[in-house]
Amino acid sequence: MSVWNPENVIDVAESIGIASLPRDVVEHLARDVEFRMAQVVEEALKFMRHSKRTTLTTQDISQALRLLEVEPLYGYESTRPLRFGEASIGPGQPLFYVEDEEVDFEKLINAPLPKVPREMSFTAHWLAVEGVQPTIPQNPSQADQRNQELSAKGPGANSTLAAMSGNDNVSVKPLVKHVLSKELQLYFERTCSAIFEENNEEYRAAAFASLQTDPGLHQLVPYFVQFVADKVTHNLSALFVLTQSMMLISSLLENPSLYLAPYIPSLVPSVLTCVLGKRLGSPSQDGATTHFALRDYASSLLANVTRKYGSTSSTLKPRIARSCLKHFLDSHKPLGTHYGAILGLTTVAGAESVRELILPNLRAYSEGVLQDAIKDDGKREQAEHVVDAIMKGVRLLDEKELDQEALGDVVWQRVQEAGMV
């Protein structure tokens, strides 16, 4: 005995032209229809439960039909409950149908045409590029940003400023902390410890290689910058630490996946310290002249920074040149600082800085500093390094620009020995 009425099977058969069906076939088809419907409802209930709902929808039935590889029913995608009406076509044979909503034909004719839907498309835009939000329609406008700046930022915010902007009821939001994953925290700790491990060259090489090539270090860049600044500030007497700090910066600059322009103002002071510092390293442990190698490396690093990111900041080169010139003209600074200043001017700005900044002051520097330093046995070796730095800049000039009156006796003698005139 089937729950599904066999008479429905006979009605469907007659509608498609089958006049008579055997009774056993009709009952068999009725039982099969009952099984298929139960299967569809069972699968639809699964979709309902997975959607955390208690009401079965037509969408659940459609998904169940697709799952059973049956073409879904069309025209029943209503999100509102359907209203069923009942009509009688004979004694004991009620017919249920879906009531259609009555529509005023006159209103339908006079209603404006709907807008033509836009074609489906996908696009992408930058929310922020290295912390700088581009001005595009998808991002907040400058007016919205100004209103946000005027709103209260913390418990001690200025209430008067908020009132001026029209925000009387300002909600105070807590500061958002920069959260690093445990993997990045572990990477940062292991990398820093490996770089400053004096007794394991293999670990240092692996750490620098990772910094030069790893594409996933964007979140760690500000931490590395701050770490280098702290190391340079508190370890001016440790030449090894200063050298490794400069190599760390160099590795970050070589990484093609990192954009360091926003961090250059924080990086340059650390590099300049290793170029212009008064006392770098310990003379008793490292020697009196070993710091010159660090100044050479730091000045080349400074040149790399200006060459790579000088176009992003019009004041980067002038500020570096101004600092170097100030230390070069200060006769009370040690020779190591003068060496770094001359080298910095030469590598950062090239022949133009030598011609405009060094050459006009070279004779006075030679007579006031170099001649006395060369006569002093304790300073002679350092003075020779300074002369070598001056010669690097002089070689960038034309031969007609070389003049004894401008160069001074000490440098002029070296120019003659080098056969440049």
For 38, the enclosing helix (H) or strand (E) is helix 23-50
Q: Which residue has the higher pLDDT, 159 or 41?
A: 41
pLDDT at residue 39, as a whole number: 94
Q: Which of 359, 368, 268 is nearest to 315 (CA)?
A: 268
Express as a percent the part of the chain with pLDDT over 90. Answer: 25
Cα distance between residue 170 and residue 380, in whole Å: 68
pLDDT digits (tens, 9 = 90+) for 214-223: 888 888 999 9
| pLDDT band for position 151 (cuts 50, 70, 90) | low
Q: Is 167 exposed, middle or buried (0-12, 13-18, 19+ CB in 10 A)?
A: middle
Contact partners, residue 40, CB within 8 Å, separation at least 6:
61, 64, 65, 68, 70
How confident is the prediction for the chain on average, in pLDDT? 83
Contact partners, residue 215, CB within 8 Å, separation at least 6:
255, 257
Residue 229 pLDDT greater than 80, yes or no: yes
| Eight-class DSSP state of 80 | S
CB 341 within 8 A of CB 324: yes
Which amino acid is it at 278? K
Residue 44 pLDDT greater than 90, yes or no: yes
Instruction: State the pTM of this model.
Output: 0.59
pLDDT digits (tens, 9 = 90+) for 308-337: 888 888 888 889 999 999 998 888 888 999
Cα distance between residue 275 and residue 339, in whole Å: 8
For tokens 């009156």, the residue is 405
CB 368 within 8 A of CB 331: yes
Domains of the chain: 6-79 (1.10.20.10), 182-349 (1.25.40.770)
